[in-house]
Each structure stands twice: as C-alpha cells, then as structure tokens.
C-alpha cells in the first residue's frame, strides 16, 4: 500500500477495496518498524489515528468522502494539535499540550485526513539539517549517516521512507524545499498568505509559510487544495477564490518561458548537481519550453538580509517563553529575574540562543537603522529583482541546494557554512513568492532537487510544470533501499 500514489489510495478507498483503518494500521506498523532508524517522528498518535480512520470510513460509507478522506498524513510538530503535545523540537515546549487545532490541522481533519503523528524538526524551525532538535537528529533514509535537510527534516524523511504518504510542513528560508531536495521528494512552499498561519508556532512571522511534502506534484496538489484558503483568524491571510490545484496538471508546456538565474549556476554549486539540473532543464526544452537567462543581481545579499530579518523577528516571537505561562519552567527560582534567565537558558538550545542574541542586537538602540532597516531595504531590492525576472519568464529554475545531503555533524560547528545551504532558497521567502523542489536525479546515490520559482499566487502553474516533468521521469517514484 505504501508504494501507491495518494490518488491510487483514494480510488481504492472509495471503491472499498481497502478501508482507511487498514491503510492507517499499515502505515502505523511501518512507523513502528522503520522509524527507530530515522527518528522522523516525535509523537505517534496511534489511538487517535485509528479513531479518525474509523470516522473516515463512516464518511466514505455515507457517500460524503472527498479526494483525501481516509488518507493518512503527518504534521510537522509546530502545528498546534488539540490534546496532543506540540514541542517545536524544543525542550522549552516538551510538556506543551495545545488547547486548539491550527487552521491547517483543522482543515485536514474536516476533510477526513488521518493524523499519524507529529514529525521531528530543527528546534523552533531554526536549522538546515535537522540536527538542532531536542529529540535528536533525523537521519536521511537514502544514507543513514547523512542529514535529511531542515528544518522540516522529519517530514521529509517520513515521506521519503514511505512512513506517511503526505506531510504538512513550513518554510521560513527553504525549510520545505531544501529537505525535499536532500531527501528526494516533492515539496512546495506557497505564496506568503496563501495558507493560514493561525496555530503555527512562529519563528519569523513575515517569512514563515506552511506547505506540503509528498512524493509527487499530483499528490501535493491534492493536499494544498485542502490547506489553502482565507482565514479571518490570521491577519496575514490573503482573501482569494479557492483553487483546485489538480485541475490543470496536464496542461501542455509549449511556449513556457523558463528563466535561469545566472547567479544560481556559478561558484559554490557542485558541478555534478549542476549537471543533473541542466539535464532536467533539457527535458523541459524537449517539451516545448523556451529558455532565457535572467539576472537576480542581489542574490548574494539574500543571506545577510535573511539572517538579520529572521533573527530579529525570532527574538520578538520567542520573548513569550519565559517560564511563567507555559513551557519549561526552572525549578526553585530565586526571584522573577532568576526564573526568566534559567528557564530560557535551560529550555532553548544553542542555535536558538544564537539567533535570539543576534536578533536582539540588530533591534537594539543604535543598531536598528544600521542592520534591521538596511536588511528591509535589501529585501525590497530582492523582490524587485524577481519582478524584473518575471517580466521575461513564467517560472525560474535552478538547483535547490548547492550540494547533496552532507554527513551528520559535518557542518554543525560552523553556522555560517550551514547557512549557505539555503543560498538559493531564502530570497524566495524574503520576496514572499511560491516555489517548489522536485527530484531531478542522483549524485553518488544521493538525491538532487530542481528548484522551480513562480510568480505570486501561481502555485497552479508550478504544480503543472512539476507534474509534466514527473510524467516523463521516475526520479520521484524511487525509494531508498530498505524502505521500498
């Protein structure tokens, strides 16, 4: 069952060839057997999953089923889930039981999807390798001594290893697309505001966006159709007509203009990764697309701009974790100041503390204009670069990551080197654009991702472009050895 697409599973459920309970129990058994190797899950909600599966079977029996009714999925552990622990991969929230559902969780539940559990992640989504989690690193199913990418590494590993057919996740600077690339799956980050952030624990509020991980663009389109939509509880949610992203997946690509950012194919890109990406682009040319070169001249400034804006917002968002209202609380405090200091020093890991310190510094008196204001000005220039590029191209393409997955511990002691893993992705978040990564080959047995960037609210085109490539290639359907 785990080798079938979501569409195939949905058809089997509606034809009553299998029940949601049988399907759910199959994936729960795979998690029990396979996850100890990967550490992809923080919490497995077995009893709740069976209950939701039985409810889905009843919906199917009554003829009330939608396309995803009865399909299992996993939620990244920063989406609040009523009555279930929501940790954000941090000791700070190790004992936090959410009193409500995030909008994403609510929408999935209302459409009859079945929650298998909550996936591991870099602490408070801060990391590119899933090594900063309080619950230990996640391992890449393609090679257990390598990282799956981050911060949504648990979701990526779970989908790649066929422990869950779908997963919700978030992207602040590449945290969907980079792990999708390193783990050999499909991941899409929608336009900022397309999917509600209500109930999604914040890292950097102007950058965070919820999205989808799946094996294929066709599967991702089904879940994104459920998740997307206006939410009055989220002030950043954009009011637009809801779309069914599966409707135009098969549209031809004749005349599609593909822009290749010159800065994404230069120094720092592994030449074998570049060769895989160029081979994928050649397939698009054979399908009738036209290739043009575009210039994103401020690409090199995206890393410094991002690592001012994101920590600044993080320092503000994480100020609420003080040991008073919820989260980790230091024992036997000697006063309020001691409670604050020890609760935060004990509850947060090294990377989170580093970013809080950076963010507090750049927002402080005397440095705000020099750092934070300047970073916001660079953000505007980066956004304008993209808009000029889209005057000449319908989508942009390039590598998602400059290299394949690196070994566990290889970059953990060098934060700057780790930050450079997101050099092709974080400009997209600064601009608020939609983008996705799809499998495009292998280098020395490790997956390579093709990065596809679209204009605002053009997720339908992105999914169409990805799907057409996946119709003529099989990179997305290949499974890691031992997880077939």
Matching residue, tokens 């670069």: 385
**Rg, the chain, Cα only:** 21
Kindly name the residue from 19, 90, 128, 151 that is annotated as catalytic.
Answer: 151
**DSSP 3-state of 111:** coil
The active-site residue out of 175, 196, 225, 403 is 175
Residues 170, 78: contact at Cβ < 8 Å? Answer: yes
Cβ-based burial of 22 (10 A; exposed 0-12, middle 13-18, buried ≥19): middle
Residue in the structure block whose two tokens are 């394949």: 404
Q: In residues, how long is the chain?
A: 484
Secondary structure (3-state) at 128: coil
Q: Which helix (H) or strand (E) is 436 found in, with range?
A: strand 435-443
Distances (CA, A) of 50 to 46, 320, 452: 6, 35, 37
Kindly report the number of other CB atoms within 10 A of residue 374's CB atom.
16
Q: Which of 10, 20, 34, 76 is catalytic?
A: 76
Name the nearest CA neighbour of 143 among 468, 470, 442: 442
Token representation of residue 66: 């939608």
* Region for residue 435 given its phi and psi (left: phi exceeds 0; alpha: psi -120 to 50; beta: otherwise): beta
Q: What does the alpha-carbon distance between residue 182 and residue 179 come to, in Å, rounded to a whole number?
A: 5
Does the annotation count 444 as an active-site position?
A: no
CA distances from 466 to 289, 381, 399, 438 (A): 13, 28, 14, 7
User: Could you give the CA distance from residue 206 to residue 231 in angstroms, rounded to a whole number?
Assistant: 17
Within 10 angstroms of residue 95's Cβ, the number of other Cβ atoms is: 12
Q: What share of the chain is helix, strand, coil (3-state, %, to 5)?
A: 40, 15, 40
Q: Is 151 a catalytic residue?
A: yes
What is the enclosing helix (H) or strand (E) of 397? Answer: strand 395-399
76 is catalytic: yes
User: Can you say how many angstroms the Cα of residue 128 is from the centroid of all Cα atoms in its chain?
Assistant: 11
Residue 275: Cβ within 10 Å count: 13
In sequence order, the β-bridge partners of residue 97 are 85
Instruction: Identify each DSSP E strand in 183-305 by its residue range.
Output: 186-189, 209-214, 257-261, 290-294
Write phi, then psi, for 294 (nearest 5 degrees): -125, 165
Lookup result for tokens 């409810």: 55
Residues carrying an active site annotation: 76, 151, 175
């Amino acid at each position: 069952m785990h080798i079938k697409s979501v569409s195939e599973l949905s058809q089997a459920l509606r034809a009553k060839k299998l029940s949601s309970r049988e399907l759910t129990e199959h994936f729960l058994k795979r998690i029990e057997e396979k996850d100890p190797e990967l550490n992809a899950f923080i919490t497995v909600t077995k009893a709740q999953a069976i209950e939701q599966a039985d409810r889905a079977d009843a919906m199917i029996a009554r003829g009330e089923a939608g396309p995803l009714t009865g399909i299992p999925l996993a939620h990244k552990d920063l989406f609040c889930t009523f009555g279930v622990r929501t940790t954000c991969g941090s000791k700070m929230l190790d004992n936090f039981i959410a009193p409500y559902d995030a909008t994403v969780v609510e929408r999935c539940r209302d459409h009859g999807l079945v929650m298998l559990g909550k996936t591991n992640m870099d602490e408070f989504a801060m990391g590119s390798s899933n090594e900063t989690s309080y619950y230990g690193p996640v391992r890449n199913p393609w090679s257990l001594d390598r990282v799956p990418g981050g911060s949504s590494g648990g979701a990526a590993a779970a989908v790649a290893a066929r422990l869950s057919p779908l997963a919700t996740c978030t992207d602040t600077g590449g945290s969907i697309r980079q792990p999708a690339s390193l783990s050999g799956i499909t991941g899409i980050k929608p336009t900022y505001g397309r999917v509600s952030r209500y109930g999604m624990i914040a890292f950097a509020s102007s950058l965070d966006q919820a999205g989808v991980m799946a094996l294929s663009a066709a599967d991702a389109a089904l879940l994104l159709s459920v998740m997307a939509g206006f939410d009055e509880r989220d002030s950043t949610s954009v009011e637009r007509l809801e779309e069914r992203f599966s409707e135009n997946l098969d549209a031809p690509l004749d005349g599609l203009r593909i822009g290749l950012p010159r800065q994404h194919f230069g120094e720092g890109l592994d030449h074998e990764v570049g060769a895989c990406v160029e081979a994928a682009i050649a397939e698009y040319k054979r399908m009738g697309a036209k290739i043009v070169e575009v210039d994103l001249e401020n690409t090199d400034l995206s890393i410094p701009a991002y690592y001012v804006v994101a920590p600044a917002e993080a320092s503000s968002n994480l100020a609420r974790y003080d040991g008073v209202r919820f989260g980790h609380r230091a024992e036997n405090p000697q006063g309020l100041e001691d409670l604050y200091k020890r609760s935060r020093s004990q509850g947060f890991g090294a990377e989170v503390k580093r970013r809080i310190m950076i963010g507090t510094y750049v927002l402080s008196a005397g440095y705000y204009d020099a750092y934070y204001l300047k970073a916001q000005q660079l953000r505007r220039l980066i956004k304008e670069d993209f808009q000029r590029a889209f005057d000449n191209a319908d989508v942009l393409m390039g590598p998602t990551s400059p290299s394949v997955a690196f070994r566990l511990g290889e970059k953990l002691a060098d934060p700057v080197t780790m930050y450079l893993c997101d050099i092709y992705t974080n400009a997209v978040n600064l601009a608020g654009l939609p983008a996705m990564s799809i499998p495009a080959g292998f280098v020395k047995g490790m997956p390579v991702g093709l990065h596809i960037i679209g204009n605002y609210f053009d997720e339908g085109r992105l999914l169409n472009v990805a799907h057409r490539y996946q119709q003529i290639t099989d990179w997305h359907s290949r499974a890691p050895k031992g997880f077939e």
